[in-house]
Amino acid sequence: MPGALEHAQAGHQSAEAAHLRMIAHLELDPILSLGMRLGEGTGGTLAVAVVRAACECLSGMATFAEAGFA
């Protein structure tokens, strides 16, 4: 499906050589690179928590006007 990877994100960069080549080929920037070699999705699960935390920070951040600086 053309354009399907435009919204894809690599959750984790595994230490496995084939995985490094795959995300480079797909031109994806991983959220995490912890050197793990686990294949059951641990890196992806951790990346979801990072993305959720970033969304909470962004949505909870006051603007300058809301904070009284403008």
Q: For residue range 10-69, list pLDDT tens digits in order.
A: 999 888 889 899 999 999 999 998 888 866 688 888 999 999 999 999 999 888 898 888
List the catalytic residue out of 27, 40, 56, 66.
40
Residue 1 lies in a domain: no
Question: Model-level pTM greater than 0.85?
Answer: no
Which residues is 12 bridged to in the sheet?
Answer: 32
Spatial neighbors of 15 by CB under 8 A, at least 6 apart, are 35, 36, 37
Q: What is the pLDDT of residue 70?
A: 66
40 counts as catalytic: yes
Question: Is 47 within a domain?
Answer: yes
Give the pair of three-digit tokens for residue 26. 């797909």
Which residues span the domain enclosing 46?
10-64
For the chain, the domain total comes to 1
